[in-house]
Structure 1
Amino acid sequence: MASTQEKLSPQGRIWSRNFTCAMLANFFLSVSHFSVNTLVATYTKHLGADPVLMGFLTGMFFGVALAIRPISGPLMTKVDKRKLMIFISVLGAVVNIGYAMFRNIPAFVFFRFLHGVQYSFVGALIMTVASDALPPDRMATGIGIFGIGSAIGQAVGPTIGDSLERLGTSLFGTEGGFTLVFLFAAVALAVAVIPSVLLRPDARTKEDLQNLGAWYKNIITIYALPTTLVNFFMSVASSLYVSYLLDHGRVNGIDNMNIFFMVTAITLMVSRPFSGYLTDRFGLKKVVIPGMCLIITSFLVVGYSKTLTPILFAAVLSALGTAATTPALQAMCMQSVPPLKRSVASNTLYIGIDLALFTGPLYGSIIYKHTNYSTMFKFGVLPVVLGLVCFIIVLPIYQRRRQELEQAGKELE
């Protein structure tokens, strides 16, 4: 008998109500996230943090999110996802108002902790809502389209954050600049409440909930761990761009570095749906491995560049590589378990991302402390190479798991 979640995915149709609402909410959450996070290192430095503390605070809320996931993961399987979406949007708005009102390191640590609690739900929850609305034969294509929302957020977020910070600084001084960014992020999260309210509530039966088992069985699933390992290394690398690229430009006298994020996002918007389609059409290996090679090249270009033009070329390479790898890895994760366990698989994937986004800024700050930003970006190659090696090892494991699900009659949706 098909599960309730299987019935929520119309055959062959991507643009359902829940998919559209999830994509819109993801956009506003991404705008908020990227407008703030690209300035966290700069803000903590303004508050008086040294380089290592700066790296720790930059990645702190990913570490908090990791610690909270044993609670948030099971909640996503038991509690109506619509209510959780509303909760995380409101909590995020409160956190950013707190950033704006209290301007010292102890207060920043407190609200960074709450931000980590909010983040422990965000990615896994939204990806589960979106994937539940997708047909199985178009999973990679749908996830590729879904990522356009976050790609746009990644484009406009850092640009808006940097522009508002400069505007606020010119009008109200340095602290006024950061305050303006935080208030903007709070408004974006408040707007995210609207599509969250419009989501259809979960329609799971008592039998569905009983089949989920005890809470501790809904924290991680071993079937998503291989894909999570690959994605961990890719996320370590990508965190270097988000956390340190603007500072790299300021230190090396490269103006308008925020255009990197705009170019990245425009390229992602164009390429993600096609890369998802190519993955569904031609298979994982022919898309993911070339994508990882493009990301490796992008780090080398940034590490050796002294002007903006080649760095923008690196943005295109990085975006094409990310478009090729991210939807494919997310689809692998979602398709390694039956539909009712998707939130568990998503939680597993995001535990790896939490570890990576906590480790990545710290990794970069340690390299920077002993060298410089250019060398730090050259070292961004290392985690991508490790991810490539792991993917080659993991792919046969995933393929065997898919065959097992098909033979057992539990193929997704």
Structure 2
Amino acid sequence: MNNERLWTKDFLSVNLSGFFVFLVFYTLMATLPIFVIDNLGQADSKVGLVVTTFLIASVAIRPFAGIWLDTIGRRKILIISLVFFTLTTFLYPLINNFALLLLLRFAQGIAFGLGTTATGTIVAEIIPVSRRGEGMSYYSSSMILAMVFGPYLGINLMNHFTFHILFFVCGFFAVISLLFGLNIAIPKQTLKPKTRIQPSQLIERSALPISITSAIISFGYSGIISFITLYAKNLGFVDVASFFFIVYAIFILGSRPFTGKLFDRKGANIIVYPGIILFAIGLVVLSFSTVPTIFLISAALIGLGYGSIVPSFQTLAINTAAPAKKGMATATFFMFFDVGMGIGSYVLGVVSAKTSFHIMYVITAIAVLLTSVIYYLLHDRKQRKTINLKKAAA
């Protein structure tokens, strides 16, 4: 039995700091579509740009974040990003037109990209190596909790108060994230010398196969996070939308104690392939939802599927990199993840506007199923060859 301690003060602090960053992210993600349409008078097709602009900035900064984490230092980048994230969050009440909103989303996307790359790298260093699958699973659970409480809180604040109140609550959460970030004692780091940035430094090649695969998964998930509120409103039960994420979280968190340990003992495949199938089935069920019960059943299936895939992919990306390159591996993983989310938010927004949400979710299910093929070709096949060679050599 492994007795290396996992739940330290620093592990708890980095989880809580990340939780409140993602809480702001998901609260805004669930409510800004309604804000754009009802308060700023924009068409449905413009909704995706709110997500895409944010993620373009996040993607653009992540490669540099990975380098800066290794040359400037984990702590400095973490605190700078959290301060910037807090300041941009408090600017939302001042927004009165769509162009300013996109500009603010771009600025906050930079802070988000820096901050989440920093916390993802720091938590990987705090976790004992032998418990990394389990630890990363718990870390991703903090994001899952934010994914639940953010939309639930946001939709309820939106329905019962004003957007100004909602934005100030988000600002308060950003401040809490900063306070927890200041409380993290980051492991001693040997900084790399600062040199002129080369294109080859912007991506960690060892993390590319699993990062590309993650982009397709996030493409599929963008249809959930960007449009589930509008879809529920279209179906006539917008109040149920907040419970979608509660059901989603219950099934993720219920499975987490087993999936992380199973990953460490049996490897990724036992988690990834069933997860992809469950995620795709959940999207198909969602596309045919006509009553709240079916809508919530899809949340359970998506929670079991998507919720187990992402921490597995992130752990694989980190494990493939050398210790000195884990910052770049984390940055590469999130960069491709954000690319998939950004492209998906825009493309699926256009698809839903031109066709229907039903067709859009069927398309996302097909994309998710294709992930199993990409995963096998880019990662699993190579791993199987390596194992067979080792067996033959033995």
Shared fold, TM over 0.5: yes
| Aligned partners of 1:19 and 1:129 also within 8 Å | no
Assess if the C-alpha contact under 8 Å between 1:231 and 1:329 holds in 2.
yes
Deviations 1:73-112 (A, max 9, x none): 2112222322322222222222122111222112212211
| Larger deviation, residues 109-118 vs 394-403 | 394-403
Q: CA deviation at 1:399?
A: 6.4
Quote the RMSD (CA, aligned, Å). 2.1
Distance of 1:235 and 1:263 partners within structure 2 = 20
Unaligned runs of at least 5 residues, structure 1: 1-9, 169-176, 405-413
Residue 162 of structure 1 contacts residue 258 of structure 1 at CA under 8 Å; is this kept in 2?
A: yes
Q: Does 1:296 align with 2:273?
A: no
Conserved in 1, the CA contact under 8 Å of 2:126 and 2:187? no
Is the Cα contact below 8 Å between 1:41 and 1:58 reproduced in 2? no
1:305-355 deviations in Å (ceiling 9; x for gaps): 101111111111111112321121111000001111101001101110121
For residues 91-170 of structure 1, the aligned pairs below 5 Å read 91-168=84-161
Give 1:326's aligned amino acid: V
Q: Residue by residue, what CA displacement relative to the aligned partner does 1:154-173 show, whole Å, maximum 9, x if unpaired?
A: 111101101111111xxxxx
Give the whole-Å Cα distance in 2 for the aligned partners of 1:191 and 1:374.
39
2:185 corresponds to which residue? 200
Say yes or no: does 1:389 pair with 2:382.
Answer: no
- Aligned match of 1:250: 233
Is 84-93 or 225-234 further displaced after alignment?
A: 84-93
3-state secondary structure, aligned to 2:343: helix
Q: Distance in 1 between matches of 2:285 and 2:253?
A: 22
Structure 1 residue 238 corresponds to structure 2 residue 221: yes
Distance, in Å, in 2 between the alignment partners of 1:402 and 1:245 is 42
Superimposed CA distance per residue, residues 346-368 of structure 1 (whole angstroms, 9 cap, x where no aligned partner):
11011101211111111211211
1:135-155 deviation line (CA, Å, top 9, x unaligned): 222211111111221121111
Question: Is 1:340 the counterpart of 2:333 in the alignment?
Answer: no
Task: Tell me if the contact between 2:121 and 2:326 (Cα under 8 Å) persists in the aligned partners.
Answer: yes
Q: Which amino acid aligns with 2:150?
A: G
Indicate conservation of the 8 Å contact 1:294/1:320, yes or no.
yes
Task: Work out whether 1:82 is the aligned partner of 2:82.
Answer: no
CA contact (8 A) 1:227 1:349 kept: yes
Moved more, 59-68 or 214-223: 214-223
1:222 to 205, 209, 224: 205
CA distance in 2, matches of 1:138, 1:399: 23
Instruction: Give the TM-score, by structure 2 length.
Output: 0.92
Quote the offset at 1:402 in angstroms: 9.7
Residues 347-396 of structure 1: CA deviation (Å, up to 9, x unaligned)? 10111012111111112112112211122112111221221111111223
**Corresponding residue number in structure 2 for 1:309:** 293
Which residues in structure 2 correspond to 1:21-36 (within 5 Å)? 21-36=13-28
Indicate whether 1:17 and 2:9 are aligned. yes
Indicate the residue corresponding to 1:57 in structure 2.
50
SS of equivalent residue, structure 1 residue 39:
helix
Q: Partner residue of 1:368?
A: 352
Q: Secondary structure at the match of 2:90?
A: helix
Partner of 2:392: none
Name the SS for the 1:38 alignment partner: helix
**Which residue identity is paired with 2:110?**
V
- Given that 1:141 and 1:276 are in contact with CA atoms closer than 8 Å, whether structure 2 keeps it comes out as yes
Structure 1 residues 402, 31: closer, same or farther in 2, change over 3 A? farther
Say if 2:47 is the partner of 1:42. no
**Aligned equivalents of 1:44, 1:251: Cα separation in 2:** 16
Take 2:11 and 2:354, find their aligned partners in 1: how far apart are those partners? 46
TM norm structure 1: 0.88
Q: How far apart, in 2, do the equivalents of 1:48 and 1:402 lie?
A: 57
- Residue 214 of structure 1: CA displacement? 5.5
Partner of 2:91, secondary structure, is helix
Q: Contact 2:63–2:328 (CA<8 Å) still a contact in 1?
A: no
2:169 corresponds to which residue?
184
CA distance in 1, matches of 2:384, 2:14: 28
Structure 2 CA distance for aligned equivalents of residues 292 and 133 of structure 1:
29
Consecutive unaligned residues of structure 2, counting only runs of 5 or more, are 390-394
Moved more, 159-168 or 90-99: 90-99
